[in-house]
Amino acid sequence: MNVKDKIVLVTGAAQGIGQALCVRFQAEGARRVIVSDRNASGAEAVARQIGGLAIPCDVTQADEVAAMVAKVHAEIGSIDLYCSNAGIIEPDPDFHNAASASEASWARSWAVNVMGHVYAARAVLPSMIARRQGGILNTVSAAGLLSQIGSATYSTTKHAALGFTEHLAIAHRDDNIHVAALCPQGVDTAMTRGASAKEPALLDGLLSPEAVADSVITGLAERHFLILPHPQVLSYVRHKAADTDRWIGGMAKLRRNSKG
């Protein structure tokens, strides 16, 4: 997909990767960029910067997501590309106990990192199926393919997000809907600020959100499912599949060193 003349919506777009996607889509000539975030003033500021439209929305609320999509369809036109990008990370409260996250932390992470994608797909699929075109880009993470040391909730919900995204891609390939999973490692955003350089996900270096947006433009144009801004992630995935026991050992070593 090429976003020129397309109607594109991005969630979690008040800052970070979502903001960079909006800026890039506008520069690529999108017809309209809808900047969505639960942070209404942040979304408004990004929309002003690019001449887009801000719509405040909490992606954990199915009715808010449905109402946002209905509003865009009624007032602007059918959404060509929905980027479900909002996400949160919460560290294990006790690094030495991987099951230490609270019920509330599991519920928050599941609601944003998984159900946010489900509510989005539920809202946009009917029109995309009817038109036999459209794209859904879910921001997952390399943690969805590998793991996130120090956060059981993030590792698990990003794996679930990837599972749902694969399911969408398989089920709607014959409807001509391009479904993609964006899986970066470390990106220089509020999410990684303050993290130690020894953090395993940051060992390959932090990418700028703009570099991630570059990968998205290429990945959409080439119609890939996996969009990997850090190319080394593909070799890690191959290594994990080829010898999972060895991979677990290597990850345990990284974990040990991350606190050493």
Ligand X SMILES: NC(=O)c1ccc[n+]([C@@H]2O[C@H](COP(=O)([O-])OP(=O)(O)OC[C@H]3O[C@@H](n4cnc5c(N)ncnc54)[C@H](O)[C@@H]3O)[C@@H](O)[C@H]2O)c1
User: Of these, 1, 9, 10, 12, which contacts ligand X (CB under 6 A)?
Assistant: 12
User: Of these, 6, 7, 16, 236, which contacts ligand X (CB under 6 A)?
Assistant: 16
Nearest distance from residue 174's CB to ligand X, in Å? 28
Q: What is the dihedral of CA 20, 61, 166, 213, to 10 degrees?
A: 0
Question: CA 154 to CA 144: how far, in whole Å?
Answer: 8
- Residue 180 interacting with ligand X (CB under 6 A): no
User: Of these, 15, 109, 155, 215, which contacts ligand X (CB under 6 A)?
Assistant: 15
Helix (H, G, I), strand (E, B) or coil at 177: strand
Are the CB atoms for 243 and 54 separated by under 8 Å? no
User: Of these, 37, 44, 80, 92, which contacts ligand X (CB under 6 A)?
Assistant: 37
Whichever of 127 and 192 has its CB closer to ligand X, that residue is: 192
From the list 90-98, 186-194, 217-225, 252-260, the region that binds ligand X by CB under 6 A is 186-194
Rg (CA), the chain: 18
- Residue 226 interacting with ligand X (CB under 6 A): no
Are the CB atoms for 184 and 192 separated by under 8 Å? no
- Residue 38 interacting with ligand X (CB under 6 A): yes
* 71-79 long-range contacts, CB within 8 A, separation 24+: 72/7, 72/9, 72/34, 73/127, 76/7, 76/32, 76/34, 77/7, 77/31, 77/32, 78/7, 78/127, 78/128, 78/131, 78/134, 79/7, 79/8, 79/9, 79/34, 79/124, 79/127, 79/128, 79/134
User: Of these, 1, 3, 14, 217, which contacts ligand X (CB under 6 A)?
Assistant: 14
User: Of these, 26, 85, 155, 157, which contacts ligand X (CB under 6 A)?
Assistant: 85
Report the DSSP beta bridge partners of residue 33. 8
- Residue 66 interacting with ligand X (CB under 6 A): no
- Residue 11 interacting with ligand X (CB under 6 A): yes
Question: CA 1 to CA 138: how far, in whole Å?
Answer: 15
Total residues interacting with ligand X, rule: CB under 6 A: 28
Q: Any idea what DSSP says for residue 98?
A: T
- Residue 59 interacting with ligand X (CB under 6 A): yes
- Residue 52 interacting with ligand X (CB under 6 A): no
Nearest distance from residue 176's CB to ligand X, in Å? 26
From the list 7-15, 47-55, 65-73, 97-105, the region that binds ligand X by CB under 6 A is 7-15
Q: 119 catalytic, yes or no?
A: no
**Chain residues in the site for ligand X (CB under 6 A):** 11-12, 14-18, 37-39, 42, 58-60, 85-88, 112, 139, 141, 184, 186-187, 189-192
Residues taking part in catalysis? 154
